[in-house]
Amino acid sequence: MKQIARECGVAISTVSRALNGSTSIRPEVREQIVATAQRLGYRPNNAARALRSRSSRTVGVVLPDMLNTFYAKCTAILQDQFEAQGYGIRLAVTGNSVDREREALARLESERIDGLVIVPTARRWQDHIRGVPAVQMNRHTKSARADIVQSDEAYGARELISHLLNLGHRRIAVLIGDKNFSTTQDRMLGVRDAYDSSDAFAGPTRVLFGTHSRSWGAQAFDDLWTAGERPTAIFAAGSEIALGVLHRTREMGVSIPEDISLVCFGDPEWFLVSDPPLTTFEQPVREVGMIAAQLLLGRMGADEAADASHVRVSGRVIVRESTTAPPE
């Protein structure tokens, strides 16, 4: 800017005004300034801007895992939405570790992010980053004073379990994530609900809590298949878990749905070509991402004071070929 000012014979503050579209400036001067800025390849220094204006034009995105299709899609959508509004994305991955999350939030606080989209791991995550407008995506903790956007977890779980019960399944195993996550709790409510409104009095035969990974899915299936009475159906709470189960069944020569039925949450594109295609609750990823972005943009703008909202986006169950009546 100094150089531009010199070349144009104006003050540095005039350059600033010209470049920021202030109205009170002579058009000819502005044009000259813009032209020389162009010629000199001038790029504003965001650090200086942020320092002075107390806004980094950046939002933080904190989530567990980029390899999970669900989060990858979310990231892509958030990226699009925020970029369109002139915000950059600062990405942090936690692997569901409370420590990594704490460090990530500390870094983001140093970065003076203007807003935060988080899939929280720690119950008290907000202690690590105060005073930043935030929206919780997918998971949430009640204590946080922040908006929530998620798909309707309970509904999805209820529909899937009902589907299995209607097919006649009575020995159903649930493979699900960390007991402390709100998603897990919501889904378990849905499971309970499905049983309550059916003529099957009991609940699921077995409930295994684990992680959303292929390896755990495979391991959990081993458990189910080798110990105790085998289930006739599995509810997998995520696509990665389902992938593990599917792979393991194939290795062991167990066929789906003849030997066992499988339903799950999520809908990566490979569900279309898997063997068999999976019956699934299609989470409304796109809507969730869009709403998260819009909500946060709102908070960062005017309506900061508004009450925290809790949005549940409904998805739909897609019946494919991984479910049928139980054997015998």
Partner DNA sequence: TTGTATGCGTTATCAA
Partner DNA sequence: TTGATAACGCATACAA
Give me the residues that bind DNA (CB under 7 A), please: 1-2, 9-14, 16-17, 19-20, 23-26, 29-30, 42-45, 48-49, 51-54
Q: Which of 75/141 has CB closer to a second copy?
A: 75
The one of DNA, a second copy, none whose footprint includes residue 10, by CB under 5 to 8 A per kind, is DNA
* Residue 178 touches a second copy, criterion: CB under 8 A: no
Residue 8 vs 200, nearer CB to DNA: 8
Cβ burial 121-144 (10 Å sphere, 16+ → b, else e)? bbeebbebbeebbbbbbbbbbeeb
- For residues 197 to 216, the per-residue mask of contacts with a second copy, x marking binding by CB under 8 A and - elsewhere, is -----------------x--
**196 is a site residue for a second copy (CB under 8 A):** no
The least CB distance from residue 105 to DNA, in Å, is 16
Residue with Cβ nearer a second copy (75 or 205): 75
Residue in the block written with tokens 């019946």:
319
- Cβ neighbourhood burial of 11 (10 Å; 0-12, 13-18, 19+): exposed
Identified binder of a second copy from the candidate list 19, 25, 30, 109, rule CB under 8 A: 109
Interface with a second copy includes 90 (CB under 8 A)?
yes
According to CB under 8 A, which one of 35, 40, 76, 306 is a site residue for a second copy?
76
CB count, 10 Å around CB of 69? 20
Q: Nearest 5°: phi and psi at 316?
A: -140, 155
Binding flag, residue 266, a second copy (CB under 8 A) = no
Residue with Cβ nearer a second copy (112 or 123): 112
Q: What residues pair up with 313 in beta bridges, in sequence order?
A: 151
Nearer to a second copy, 27 or 41 (CB): 41
* 8 Å CB contact between 134 and 115: yes
Give the C-alpha separation, 264 to 235, whole Å: 6
Rounded to whole angstroms, the Cα distance separating 90 from 188 reads 33
Task: Give the C-alpha separation, 59 to 62, whole Å.
Answer: 10
Among 228, 255, 270, 327, interactor with a second copy by CB under 8 A: 270
Q: Label residue 54 exposed, middle or buried (CB < 10 Å: 0-12, 13-18, 19+).
A: exposed
- Please identify which residue in 51, 252, 306, 318 interacts with a second copy, judged by CB under 8 A: 51
- C-alpha span between 75 and 71 (Å, rounded): 6
State the binding partner of 67 from DNA, a second copy, none, CB within 5 to 8 A by kind. Answer: a second copy
> What single string gives the DSSP state of each residue in 25-83?
S-HHHHHHHHHHHHHHT----HHHHHHHHS---EEEEEES-SSSHHHHHHHHHHHHHHH
Q: Which does 9 bind (CB under 5 to 8 A by kind): DNA, a second copy, none?
A: DNA
Please give the residue ranges that form the binding site for a second copy (CB under 8 A): 41, 43-48, 50-51, 56, 65-67, 72-73, 75-76, 79-80, 83, 88-93, 106-107, 109-112, 130, 214, 243, 246-247, 250, 268-270, 272-276
